[in-house]
Amino acid sequence: MFDNWEELENSLKECKRCKLCTNRTNIVFGTGNKQASIMFIGEGPGADEDLQGEPFVGKAGKLMNMAFDALAINRKEVYIANIVKCRPPGNRNPEQDEATACLDYLRNQVILVKPKIIVLLGSVALKNILGQEYGITASRGKWIEKRGIWYMPTWHPAALLRDETKKIDFIKDLKLVIEKYKQILNN
């Protein structure tokens, strides 16, 4: 574990911990406020993210940005990262060995950011952070508190592109996040 961002980012630069290193253009480390109260965790970079080196800049990211705008969430004020930092080919889900190899980096990011709230975007984030026993359909929209961090599982933004009805849930869940954030600020 590293106690500063520079060393952590340097430790990743030549990462070959899993097979995803062979096809990557860029490592997608994370973006946003490094002291954010709210952190978002997705699955892994897609083609646009791989090219630009930033999470959620493609179609799903644009949809997430629209939701942020609608709810007055400033993307620069939250921290956004992924379970895996290199693109899985063909946008498949990360395989378990890939997620496991990469998780230490994310754990280190969480330790450095010290978020009060973590939004888990989709099943891959939920299962890798809270445990394989969790399912996104049953868990979304419900708070789970663990070791002083409030977790809110919700749909992955890409799921909203496939099923419009999930947009309502997504907005509802983000509203719960804002409410909780305000409660925490007032305590």
Chain residues in the site for ligand URA (CB under 6 A): 42-46, 49, 55-56, 58, 60-61, 82, 158
**Smallest distance, Å, CB 156 to ligand URA?**
6
Taking the C-alpha atoms of residue 85 and residue 15, their distance in angstroms, rounded to an integer, is 10
Question: Residue 43 or 115: which CB sits closer to ligand URA?
Answer: 43
**Smallest distance, Å, CB 41 to ligand URA?**
8
The order of strands in the sheet holding 79-82 is: 31-32, 79-82, 38-42, 117-121, 149-154, 144-146
Question: Residue 49 or 173: which CB sits closer to ligand URA?
Answer: 49
Question: Residue 69 or 179: which CB sits closer to ligand URA?
Answer: 69
**Smallest distance, Å, CB 60 to ligand URA?**
5
- Which residue has its beta carbon closest to ligand URA? 42
**Smallest distance, Å, CB 185 to ligand URA?**
28
